[in-house]
Structure 1
């Protein structure tokens, strides 16, 4: 079975759970920006959590299938059309050979996910089918999709998870709010901010700018002050510069004390900006759902609180996959 792309959408890529283990050599984990929404689409389609899906940003693709198929769409709210007829998100959709699937404009958020029963079958690169476009690696030829591309679909999911849930309960679905609070752990270089600067970081409301992609998200707001010092050898002249160090995914940098940047799935692995805080893993999906203009507050939490949040996320996933017959 194959999917034939008629129109590619704005930046449609193949993604899965990512390729951890190579960040030390400059290759990010990558994978679906909103991992939970991607997993929900897979659960509905009858796949495992790890099957590759299509990640659609703002404008989705138009495609047909050359065989009967089962798909599901989860994530940002969008009109789903099959042969021009409206269909639902958050449920299983059965397609007949030749059916055309298309999408309207999203009404909130930034991304939604299309899962096909069996998973998108592209070559595995370093343990993942995810597209890392900056490195021209993985996915479909290492790039976003183009018109006339043909994507093979696997066969493993059709029998193994035939008891997949018919829909995802509304209480489990993610929301796409215009005002959010993101939990962070201070460090490693929060000591470089003045007391006033640190207070500003955690008390101000930051607005997501249009400069937001798979590499990172930039925010506008008040200036944040750094402690003056003589920069050490190897660091740049900007007060936010440090001697190069490794970056954690989710790190928050504030070059020049203006416009914080949060590194996301396809971020570089190191550089010369101080990381003043790091978004906890449980809130990375929340960031991925943010559209430009989203009002964001960063709030510090402890390691214990971060681990508790992770445990809550595992419980949600357990409910999803329990309902999908796993």
Structure 2
């Protein structure tokens, strides 16, 4: 079976858990920005957590299915319509051949997900079906969807879970205020005490300059210690001789607007990384719409590891609430 794309929306792409093992040669992991929402969509339709879904950004697509299909819409709150009739999110929906799926205006966050029983069945590239548009690989021809595309869907591989709707306690929130946990380093020592205080105690807002590569924030700015820049670094105190970037790295070019690197970010460059968002909070960052007020909370590596374990346990409990196994 396949989905025929009548209208692609703003930026609809195929994503899964991402491709790992190639960051050292400049190929980012890509994958769903909000992994939790995407994986729970897969759980609702009887897929595995790694199956590919459609990631919709702000304006979703209009698509028609050419055969019966079982789908679920998860992620940011948005009006879901089947043949013009409103349908709920976070629950299993059954489509008949010829049914049209469309969306209204997003009501919070930035991205929502279409999971379909059998998964989106595009070819794997370097072990993943995820779209990396800058590199033109993965997904459907390495790009976002276009009108007229036929998106193939795989065959079901298992039974549907016994519960059709994800219980409310396991659904993520899309608040207008966030506290994001970070581990300081590698270059936080280049900040003055006042600069570090602004980073950790100031309020930062997500700007409209935000995509799959990263999110830019506005706020009080930071101060860098004066120094004679080493050979090969730029003149700005936020410049360094090139270094590798971890996913979630926070840069502050010019000391004014922090940038959190996300799933399609480059793997290295010449800006100092003052901190890194912990892995447990990367989905939280992905849910932030422009204007979201953000505070950064410094934690230790040990605390970050505990948070990662707690996130995994929460996800497992969500799957179990559906009668499914991750």
Q: Output the TM-score relative to the length of structure 2.
A: 0.98
TM-superposed deviation, 1:174:
0.4
Tell me what 1:70 maps to.
70
SS of alignment partner, residue 104 of structure 1 = strand
TM-superposed deviation, 1:18:
0.1
Quick check: 2:232–2:241 contact (8 Å CA) kept in 1? yes
Quick check: 1:44–1:324 contact (8 Å CA) kept in 2? no
SS of alignment partner, residue 105 of structure 1 = strand
Give the counterpart of 2:284 among 276, 283, 286: 286
**Alignment length, in residue pairs?**
324
SS of alignment partner, residue 273 of structure 2 = coil
Q: How does 1:189-268 map to 2 (within 5 A)?
A: 189-268=187-266
- Once the two structures are superposed, residues 211-263 of structure 1 have per-residue CA deviations (whole angstroms, 9 ceiling, x without a partner) of 00000100001121000000001111010000000000000000010100000
- Listed as ranges, the gaps of 5+ residues in structure 1 are none
Give the counterpart of 1:161 among 159, 169, 181: 159
Q: How does 1:13-52 map to 2 (within 5 A)?
A: 13-52=13-52
Quick check: 2:43–2:161 contact (8 Å CA) kept in 1? no
Matches of 2:212 and 2:43, distance apart in 1: 24
Matches of 2:157 and 2:271, distance apart in 1: 49
TM-superposed deviation, 1:325:
2.4
Tell me what 1:313 maps to.
311
Q: Output the TM-score relative to the length of structure 1.
A: 0.98
SS of alignment partner, residue 319 of structure 1 = helix
Tell me what 1:303 maps to.
301
Matches of 2:80 and 2:45, distance apart in 1: 15
TM-superposed deviation, 1:164:
5.3
Matches of 2:164 and 2:85, distance apart in 1: 19
SS of alignment partner, residue 311 of structure 2 = helix
Cα gap change, 1:65 to 1:289, in 2 (>3 Å)? same
TM-superposed deviation, 1:159:
4.2
Matches of 1:315 and 1:284, distance apart in 2: 16
Tell me what 1:325 maps to.
324
RMSD: 0.8
Matches of 2:267 and 2:224, distance apart in 1: 23
- Once the two structures are superposed, residues 182-204 of structure 1 have per-residue CA deviations (whole angstroms, 9 ceiling, x without a partner) of 00000000000011111110000
- Listed as ranges, the gaps of 5+ residues in structure 2 are none
- Once the two structures are superposed, residues 130-182 of structure 1 have per-residue CA deviations (whole angstroms, 9 ceiling, x without a partner) of 00001001000000000000011001xx2413235311111010000001000
TM-superposed deviation, 1:308:
1.2
- Once the two structures are superposed, residues 99-136 of structure 1 have per-residue CA deviations (whole angstroms, 9 ceiling, x without a partner) of 00000011000000000100000010000000000100
SS of alignment partner, residue 220 of structure 2 = coil
Q: How does 1:119-158 map to 2 (within 5 A)?
A: 119-155=119-155, 158=156
Tell me what 2:170 maps to.
172
SS of alignment partner, residue 6 of structure 2 = strand
- Point out the more displaced range, 314-323 or 274-283: 314-323
Quick check: 1:161–1:324 contact (8 Å CA) kept in 2? no
Matches of 1:89 and 1:70, distance apart in 2: 13
Matches of 2:315 and 2:162, distance apart in 1: 14
SS of alignment partner, residue 79 of structure 1 = strand
Matches of 1:159 and 1:165, distance apart in 2: 18
SS of alignment partner, residue 282 of structure 2 = helix
Matches of 1:32 and 1:164, distance apart in 2: 26
Cα gap change, 1:164 to 1:228, in 2 (>3 Å)? farther
SS of alignment partner, residue 105 of structure 2 = coil
Tell me what 1:105 maps to.
105
